[in-house]
A and B are shown apart, each in its own frame.
Chain A
Amino acid sequence: MTLPPQIQAWFDNKGWSPHPHQLSMLERADAPATLLIAPTGGGKTLAGFLPTLADLADDAHEGLHTLYVSPLKALAADIKRNLRTPVDEIGLDIRIEDRTGDTSATQKRRQRVDPPHILLTTPESLALMISYEDAPRIFKGLKRIVVDEIHALAESKRGDQLMLALARINALCPDLRRVGLSATVDDPAAIACLLARHPDRCDILVADPGPAPDIAMLETREAPPWAGGGAAYAIPAVMEQIRQHRTTLIFHNTRAQAEIFFHNLWLDNPDGLPIGIHHGSLDRQQRQRVEAAMVRGELRAIVCTGSLDLGIDWGDVDLVIQIGAPKNVKRLVQRIGRANHQYNAPSKALLVPANRFEVVECIAALQAVQEGDLDGEPRGPGPLDVLCQHILITACSGPFHADDIYAEVTTAGAYADLSRADFDRCLEFAATGGYALRAYDRWQRLLQRADGRWQLRDPRASRDIRMNIGTIQDNDTVKVRLRRNRGGKPLGEVEEGFAATLSAGDTFLIGGQIVRFEGLREMTVEVSRDAARKPRIATFSGTKFATSTQLSARILALLRQPGWPCLPAHTAEWLNLQREQSRLPEFGRLLIESFPHDGREHCCVYGFAGRNAQQTLGLLLTKQMEEAGLDPLGFVATDYATLIWGLEPVRDPEILLDRDTLRNGLANWLAGNAVMKRTFRASATIAGLIQRNTPQARKTGRQATFSSDILYDTLQKYDPDHLILDITRREAHRGLVDFGRIEELLDRVGDRLELLRLDRVTPLAAPLLLEVGKVPIKGAAEERLVAEETRRLMQEAGLAEL
């Protein structure tokens, strides 16, 4: 396909010429699937839509022509604006509309009857669309689909859900062409495999990445502290950078850190520079206000988290600052890309390590960026809970043959290797619950008809299924509001667990202001403004990332160097001391230090397996130590090590680190673990076993529901091989438990365990003593706590003798 004259004329009028990758996209317009990898600001969106515009310029098209899917509602709205302008200027008669959770019901109904040429939507809204009986009519004539920011979708179940929906649409429209738009990624082939219909080929087009980024570590007068994540020491230096630049984005790894840093910035802002905060826990209106101010160029800096990670065009950012080690090189590169949206200007970024060890991690990450060495964890096969939901969604749209759906599902890359047995288990689950006890023969959700097709037993069930579409799990948050007579201003959300720990008078940070907890009313935290300068820390956690496998390996390689001219002197000296007094950890062996400190025995295991895996290792090791009579008292974990303290020294690490023992320990420990229950709740909700939204629950609220933990315990006891428990165990292997990385560690070190007995704490272990998040070891702790607390309350009430 070539550029139609009116589009060529538009480029000429503007005095522009199309980027080479934009023309290549046009040439490949007929390829079944194409993945375009281009930096932000490289005209990526126009490249994705150019074949559509060219096609629609040539001849009239009835109904839907191109579907655009992005991970964010805001992005869909943004693209609608950005596409409208060139389309109008070229003079094309094209209808462009978005359809997201924010679209009105009237508008949605109209779109179903009379679809626009280009529809911009999200994976969830698309899944809802394929659940309608009239889906074949809606998608009739659809030619192209553009998946934007596909690298972000590929990392989560939203991507799996989207690809299953595309498999379904592809069955309705066999000639569908797929285009994926992605930021720089480590493994383009993996994304291509996800995008293309299996086994179609998928060309990968890599646009000129532009000049290398200008990236360095921020120089500060003060050395970073030994432990912690706040980077408060860097406030004056960061303030100086804000003064020197037009607009600075300051990224943090967690929301709590962002809040604290923002608060501290304002305490040290004599010029009163306009600085805003943006993260996922803030109220939507608050976020939108900050976004609007940013687009108008009114803010000099925005303190933010991953909520600003995606490619929305916020305006004139000329500096990106990353506070805390980036944990993951790929994400760092994508964040750096937020600076300088002009195609040919280098992005400018500064890294600010929050503590001494992070200096090493930042340098390792800088080297990785310079060498273009990105990291990524392979995602594994498509998750079955998403497939269960997809089967229910399919059933909503009408009766189906199992063979057809199986054939369809396996055209999605992530499900290409799905076995028929696994598919049948998911179908069985959707139909009957899939229990060993066949209790629901009369009340199956799906029934097989005489013609062999499956359908909903009760068509009214489709309403509940549609209300629960999606794979995003809100982390049980509660809203925070200012206390007023008629409901005050919403400020944002905190995790329910955090809200439960608040007592009247407690203060915490939200949206950069200190508020005082007044009370809990109908699942809303009511607060008042507080003039205090120091809050009780907001512990709502956001996401805690673990340092990636590749970055950990780079750090270990860096530690092997004979000297460290690349590191600041304070950090190089620290590593030298460690080398003199003990040893430095190495890739192919596991260093374990054992030393007395403060009247207790300590044992530090340098696994470099990432925070989650080191945490799991701590739980498993202390359990073993308890059995071996070493009386562990507690432990703390970071991305690189686990420090355990107790009454007896460790002398025999082989026993503790035996793989089979660890794996058995994991199975037993996991069964009763809160992380496992949380994972279960997420998967059970996605699979449709637990319905978050029901029309009744909305009305009555209380008392109707019981905890998903009860379902988990019941299944564990009576049906331990149930599909959802299987899925839960698979999920837990990664994610928060991350046992996969413990196995990787054991593979890497083999039998090369190195126990050093030392007479005092070592330089590398010392910062761990200062870490927060220490985990006490407790046996029957909850019962003891209940006994203590109830006794105290009785005494307080003068009822101790009852």
Chain B
Amino acid sequence: MNGHVFTFSGAELVALGSGALWWQDRGLLCVSDLHLGKSERIARRGGAPLPPYDTRATLDRLAADLDACNPATVACIGDSFDDLDSANALPEDERLWIARLQAGREWIWIEGNHDPGPVALGGAHHALLRVGPLTLRHIADPAAQAEVSGHYHPKVHLRLRGRSIARPAFLVDRDRIVLPAYGIYTGGLRSDAATLCSLMRPDAIALVTGSSVYPVPMPRSA
């Protein structure tokens, strides 16, 4: 499996190239910010009709991770849907697809700012979740420890021999992990933004996603 193995608050975790976090000992796969139904919401609110394939592209990505890890538990830690209406407006085949992915495993929806209430889909609904030493919630609490969150869609800019690339990335320090956005149609917040620089410790590491995962000292503004 392509990924970066690291120990966090006593748990041995793998950051996957897709942006998911895999905790083998607990059989837990954690993803954040799926933003399912985003194109539908944009069109509904009078925006451009973007290619309506974002939900299936995101589910394709998730299905591949489920095949590879076969987790007992899947935790979607917030903003799984672009809003509650888009959750309810999911086409039937996409609802069935989610049901198939859920079959035979525990599924947890943690609420986020985009989807602050229960949805009419299988799975349990939580405000936050504690698993062993770890706390899973959508938005990081600066005072918390051993915390896994999402929300910020962190990404990292790297300069490579004359060209520059931006990729979604995990941010990791001794207190918290911030997951990159897992959804296809998601922008990102640069790791050098003030919010992330003050949230993360000075020695934080960024794990750059892609076909492999690369650790790098979290880039900050100079």
Which residue numbers of A lie inside 8 Å of B, CB to CB?
Answer: 432-433, 435, 437, 439-440, 442-445, 457-458, 460-461, 464, 497, 500-501, 503-504, 519, 688-691, 694, 702-707, 710-711, 714-715, 717-719, 722, 782-783, 785-787, 789-791, 793-794, 797, 799, 802
Cβ–Cβ < 8 Å partners of B53 in chain A? 435, 437, 714-715, 717-719
* B153 close to A (CB within 8 Å): yes
Determine the chain B residues whose CB is within 8 A of the CB of A785 once the complex forms.
160-161
Q: Do A439 and B40 have beta carbons less than 8 Å apart? A: yes
Question: Which of chain B's residues has its CB closest to A789's CB?
Answer: B160
Whether B39 contacts A439 by the Cβ 8 Å rule is yes
Also in contact, A714 and B163, with CB within 8 A (given A445-B49, A786-B214): no
Bound-state CA distance A718–B57 (Å) is 8
User: Shortest Cβ distance from A714 into chain B, in angstroms?
Assistant: 5
Smallest CB separation, B206 vs chain A (Å): 9
Q: Does B142 contact A (CB under 8 A)?
A: no
Contact code string B24-47 (vs A, CB < 8 Å = 1, else 0): 000000000000000110011011
CB of B122 closer than 8 Å to a CB of A: no
Q: Name which of B51, B185, B216 has the most chain A CB atoms within 10 A of its CB.
A: B51
B48 within 8 Å of A by Cβ? Answer: yes
A703: B residues at CB distance < 8 A: 153, 187-189
Residues of B with C-beta under 8 A to A689:
48-50
A504 to B157, CA, bound (A): 16
Mark out the residues of chain B between 1 and 18 whose CB falls within 8 Å of any chain A CB in the assembled complex.
Answer: 6
**B48 contacts A691, CB within 8 Å?**
yes
Instruction: Check B214–A710 contact: CB distance below 8 A.
Output: no
Is B117 part of the contact surface with A, judged by Cβ < 8 Å?
no
- Contact status B212-A799, CB under 8 Å: no
Q: What separation, in Å, do the CA atoms of A497 and B165 have in the docked complex?
A: 10
From A437, A702, A789, B52 is in contact (CB under 8 Å) with A437
| Contact pattern, B 199-222, Cβ under 8 Å of A = 1, otherwise 0 | 000000100101110111100001
23 A-B pairs (CB sep. < 8 Å): A433-B51, A440-B43, A440-B49, A444-B49, A445-B49, A458-B46, A464-B47, A500-B163, A501-B159, A519-B222, A689-B50, A706-B188, A710-B185, A711-B51, A715-B51, A715-B53, A717-B53, A717-B57, A786-B165, A786-B208, A786-B210, A790-B158, A799-B205
B214 touches A799 (CB 8 A): no
Determine how close the nearest CB of chain B comes to the CB of A42; give it in whole angstroms.
46
* Other-chain contact of B49, A433, A717, A782, A791 (Cβ < 8 Å): A433
- Which residues of B from 145 to 186 have beta carbons under 8 Å from A? 153, 157-165, 184-186
With A501-B164, A718-B56 known as contacts, the answer to whether A461 contacts B184 (CB < 8 A) is: no
Most chain-B Cβ atoms within 10 A of its Cβ — which of A440, A442, A691, A719? Answer: A440
Closest 8 CB pairs of A and B: A433-B49, A439-B52, A500-B164, A790-B214, A718-B53, A443-B43, A706-B187, A790-B216
CA distance A802 to B4 in the complex (A): 10
A719-B51 contact in complex given A440-B43, A703-B188, A790-B215, C-beta closer than 8 Å: yes
The reply to whether B211 and A783 contact each other, CB–CB distance below 8 Å, is yes
Residue of B nearest to A496 (CB): B164
Known: A442-B44, A785-B160. 17 other contacts (CB 8 A): A433-B50, A433-B51, A519-B222, A691-B48, A702-B187, A706-B188, A710-B185, A711-B50, A714-B51, A722-B51, A786-B210, A787-B212, A789-B161, A790-B158, A799-B205, A802-B6, A802-B205
Residues of the B chain whose Cβ atoms lie less than 8 Å from the Cβ of A786: 158, 160, 165, 208, 210, 214
In the complex, A720→B120 CA distance in Å?
33
Q: Which residues of A contact B214 (CB under 8 A)?
A: 786-787, 790-791
Nearest CB in chain B: distance from A518 CB, A: 10
Provide the residues of chain A in CB contact with B82, threshold 8 Å.
Answer: none
Check A691/B47 contact, CB under 8 A, given A439-B52, A501-B164, A786-B208. yes
Give the Cβ gap from B131 to chain A, nearest Cβ, in Å.
Answer: 24
- Cα–Cα distance between A43 and B131 once the two chains are bound (Å): 83
Cα–Cα, bound, A710→B155 (Å): 15
A765 to B130, CA, bound (A): 69
Partner of A504, one of B46, B52, B187, B222: B222
Query: In the complex, which residue of chain B has the Cβ closest to the Cβ of A503?
Result: B159
CA distance A688 to B122 in the complex (A): 37
Set of chain B residues within 8 Å of A705, measured between Cβ atoms: 187
Query: Which residues of chain A are near B215, meaning CB under 8 Å?
Result: 790, 794, 799, 802
In whole angstroms, what is the CA distance A52 to B210 when docked? Answer: 64
B residues near A461, Cβ cutoff 8 Å: 46
Q: In whole angstroms, what is the CA distance A783 to B39 when docked?
A: 30
Q: How far is the CA of A68 from the CA of B104 in the complex (A)?
A: 71
In the complex, A440 Cα to B42 Cα: how many Å?
11
Contact between B187 and A704, CB atoms less than 8 A apart: yes
B160 nearest CB across to chain A (Å):
4
Q: Do the beta carbons of A500 and B159 come within 8 Å of each other?
A: yes
B93, closest chain A residue (CB): A437
Q: Is the CB of A783 within 8 A of B50?
A: no
Does chain A have a CB within 8 A of B133? no
Give B51 Cβ to nearest chain A Cβ, in Å: 5
Nearest residue (CB) in B for A519 is: B222
Known interface pairs A497-B164, A802-B205; A443-B40 also in contact (CB < 8 Å): yes
Tell me whether B79 is interfacial, beta carbon within 8 Å: no
Given A437-B52, A464-B46, CB of A783 within 8 Å of CB of B212:
yes
CB A772 to nearest CB in B, in angstroms, measures 13
The chain A residue with its CB closest to the CB of B160 is A785
The CA-CA distance from A440 to B50 in the complex, in Å, is 10
Cα distance A546–B123 when bound, in Å? 60
Residues in B neighbouring A802, C-beta threshold 8 A: 6, 205, 215
Contact B51 A790 (CB under 8 A): no
Residues in chain B near residue A706, CB distance under 8 A: 185-188
Q: For the complex, give the distance between the alpha carbons of A711 and B212 in Å.
A: 23
Question: Are A435 and B188 neighbours in the complex by a CB distance under 8 Å?
Answer: no
Q: Does B121 contact A (CB under 8 A)?
A: no
Query: Which residues of A are found within 8 Å of B217, using beta-carbon distances?
Result: 793-794, 797, 799
The closest CB in chain A to the CB of B52 belongs to: A439
Asked if A443 and B49 make an inter-chain contact with CB atoms under 8 angstroms apart, the answer reads yes
Residue of B nearest to A792 (CB): B216
- A-side contacts of B222, CB under 8 Å: 504, 519
**Chain A residues near B40 (CB, 8 Å)?**
439-440, 443
The chain A residue with its CB closest to the CB of B190 is: A702
In the complex with contacts A702-B189, A719-B51, A719-B53, A710-B184 CB distance below 8 A? yes
A505 to chain B: closest CB distance in Å? Answer: 12
Give the CA-CA distance A717 to B217 in the complex, in Å. Answer: 34
Taking the closest CB of chain A, its distance from the CB of B172, in whole angstroms, is 10
- Residues B163 and A435 in contact, CB atoms below 8 Å apart: no
Q: Does the CB pair A497–B52 fall under 8 Å? A: no
Interface residue from B47, B51, B164, B187 paired with A718 (Cβ < 8 Å): B51
How far apart sit A691 and B47, CA to CA, in the bound complex (Å)? 9
B59 CB to nearest A CB, Å: 12
A527 CB, min distance to chain B CBs, angstroms: 15
Tell me the nearest residue of chain A to B42, going by C-beta: A443
Chain A CB within 8 A of B124 CB: no
Q: Which residue of A has the minimal Cβ distance to B43? A: A443
Cα–Cα, bound, A437→B40 (Å)? 12
> Do residues B210 and A714 form an inter-chain contact, with CB atoms below 8 A?
no
A464 to B40, CA, bound (A): 18
- With A440-B49, A718-B51 as known contacts, state yes or no: A793 contacts B216, CB within 8 Å: yes
> Does B99 reach chain A (CB closer than 8 Å)?
no
* Complex: A442 Cα to B56 Cα, angstroms: 19
Cα-based distance from A722 to B51 in the complex (angstroms): 9
Q: Which of A519, A722, A789 contacts B158 (CB 8 A)?
A: A789
Which B residues touch A460, using CB under 8 A?
Answer: 46
- Tell me, rounded to whole Å, the shortest Cβ–Cβ distance linking B22 to chain A: 18
Q: Give the chain A neighbours of B111 by CB distance below 8 A.
A: none
Most buried by A among B47, B49, B186: B49
CA distance A718 to B61 in the complex (A): 14
Q: With a CB–CB cut-off of 8 A, which chain B residues contact A464?
A: 46-47
**Contacting residues of chain B (49-96) with chain A, CB-CB under 8 angstroms:** 49-54, 56-57, 91
Q: Which residues of A contact B48 (CB under 8 A)?
A: 433, 445, 688-691
Residues of B within 8 A of A501 (CB): 159, 162-164
